[in-house]
Structure 1
Amino acid sequence: MTLEILTSDALPVNHGFFTRRGGASSGVFSGLNCGQGSTDQAEIVAINRARVADAMGVAPDHLLGVHQIHSTTVISIDGPMAEKTRADALVTATPGLALSVLTADCQPVLFADAEAGVIGAAHAGWRGALDGVLDATLEAMESLGATRENTTAIIGPTISQRAYEVGPEFLESFLDIDPEFARYFINGEGDRYLFDLPGFGLNRLRAAGAGHAEWTRHCTFSDPERFYSYRRTTHAKEADYGRLIAAITL
């Protein structure tokens, strides 16, 4: 099956939010599982990642990522890495490198200041977005010559508000930072709330000064044929789940 790659007309460099279609994995990982931290066969994950690298026009060792830890740590790179650094975002001004992040409900965010020749990729779950990983990515891009007003940031497939049920403690962690964040929550059943993760991500990007920010409006939880979802896997009591990849290159 051919790879399915979602793109945004607003992002003027080579990029893609890859769905699970077109991969070699089977079982609960069926499709394009690119998660080296999953229990999928390492050889199969390597095949999937090689297909992504080929689609991005780079060698497999130039498809770069980090060991994601829900942090605000951003690394600046100028070549292939011997091992993955613990971080949640990458930036570069070096052509020929494909920056990538893995997600399965969290936000994959791709950045580009095409005029300056600087790109970035960030993994932004609720914790990273709340703590400032998106702002930190824009700041790291600035250190390479980008300007925030010329930077476009696109949020790819992520869990939507209708599928993201949380408890009162979760809400309080946001209100403790800023009571205005209540706007990203609506009432669910009982004491539950529904959280708008991509809406919050867009708010953080715009507040940080990104020139243009948008969400592709794809919900990972609601479309099992196209997307992996940690939350959907948890509800189904499956043993593990695949990871989607998003990548960008100059």
Structure 2
Amino acid sequence: MAEPVEVNRAGVLEGIAHGFLGRRGGVSTGEVAGLNAGLGAGDDDRAVAQNRALAVGAVLPGAELVTVYQIHSPDCVVAQQAWPLDQRPRADAIVTKVPGLLLGIVTADCAPVLFADREAGVIGAAHAGWKGAIGGVTDRTIAAMEGLGARRDRIAAAIGPCIAQASYEVDQAFRDHFLESDAASGDCFAAGQAGHWQFDLEGYVARRLESAGIGAVERLRLDTYAAAERFYSYRRATHRGEASYGRQLSLIGL
């Protein structure tokens, strides 16, 4: 019997169709074995399409999947309808208030963030790698949701599987870049080996969300790097010398 799709959910989004998926339950084989949802992972396109269909079925059956061409930017788009894969806008966050749409973000160490204002019926999804996070992708997502009628103090957000601080070593130049942009971000770095630091991406994203004044923030505290059987990880694949790496999908819909 095929392994079921694993869906990780957040308490703050209870009652909203959503899920942070990993690699369990898919049809891909080889280095990207499992539920690979990444079109740029060197996988068979038919396997990726089947995996995406399995993911939709596990979270909101019958919904139309909406994704973007992710570029590590702070840019957010509004989805009024699903668009063809070859016409995806270049952005890293999506918001909507249209029932039947399922917003999807792919990640492989970066932080996926799902948002909802239940009362307004407005949802969002953001891809927050370190570039997007420091650039304000979560702030722009919140602002775009407000443009659709959401209210900041009613928005709940959950941060899904991403690389954890213990697994994320960075150099001094990386830390200096953050401190120049955001002096308060020093709390997100722990001293590591000489000249290096351990960066808390999830903690940084959570702090940005909390500083924005939204209603609730939840961290799932799932480390993509450490759990090879559950999640894809760019850094782990690089350290192992693997030729490719998969991407997991995080979904939220109405």
Determine which of 225, 228, 241 is the counterpart of 1:224. 228
Q: Report how far residue 178 of structure 1 moved.
A: 2.5
Mapped partners of 1:131, 1:205: distance in 2: 13
Q: Report how far residue 57 of structure 1 moved.
A: 2.7
Mapped partners of 2:160, 2:123: distance in 1: 16
Q: Report how far residue 58 of structure 1 moved.
A: 4.0
Instruction: Assess if the C-alpha contact under 8 Å between 1:58 and 1:98 holds in 2.
Output: no
1:21 matched to 2:4: no
Instruction: Assess if the C-alpha contact under 8 Å between 1:58 and 1:96 holds in 2.
Output: no
Determine which of 134, 151, 163 is the counterpart of 2:167. 163
Amino acid at match of 2:21: F
Question: What CA deviation, in whole Å up to 9, does each residue of 1:209-250 have, x standing for no partner?
Answer: 111011101000000000000000000010010000000001
Amino acid at match of 1:209: G
2:70 corresponds to which residue? 68
Q: TM-score if structure 1 supplies the norm length? A: 0.98
Mapped partners of 1:5, 1:75: distance in 2: 25
1:49 corresponds to which residue? 52
Q: TM-score if structure 2 supplies the norm length? A: 0.96
Alignment of 1:55-134 (within 5 A): 55-59=58-62, 62-82=64-84, 83-134=87-138
Determine which of 175, 188, 203 is the counterpart of 2:192. 188
Mean alpha-carbon deviation: is it higher for 153-162 or for 4-13?
4-13
Q: Report how far residue 66 of structure 1 moved.
A: 0.3
The alignment partner of 1:90 has SS state of: strand
Instruction: Assess if the C-alpha contact under 8 Å between 2:166 and 2:198 holds in 1.
Output: yes
Amino acid at match of 1:9: G
Which ranges of structure 2 fall in alignment gaps of 5 or more residues? none
1:9 corresponds to which residue? 11
Instruction: Assess if the C-alpha contact under 8 Å between 1:58 and 1:97 holds in 2.
Output: no
Instruction: Assess if the C-alpha contact under 8 Å between 2:68 and 2:91 holds in 1.
Output: yes
The alignment partner of 1:136 has SS state of: helix
Mapped partners of 1:214, 1:9: distance in 2: 8
Mapped partners of 1:218, 1:166: distance in 2: 19
The alignment partner of 2:181 has SS state of: coil
Query: Identity over the aligned pairs, expressed in percent?
Result: 47
2:34 corresponds to which residue? 31
Mapped partners of 2:118, 2:71: distance in 1: 28
Which ranges of structure 1 fall in alignment gaps of 5 or more residues? none
Q: Report how far residue 59 of structure 1 moved.
A: 3.9
Let me know the Cα RMSD of the aligned residues: 0.9
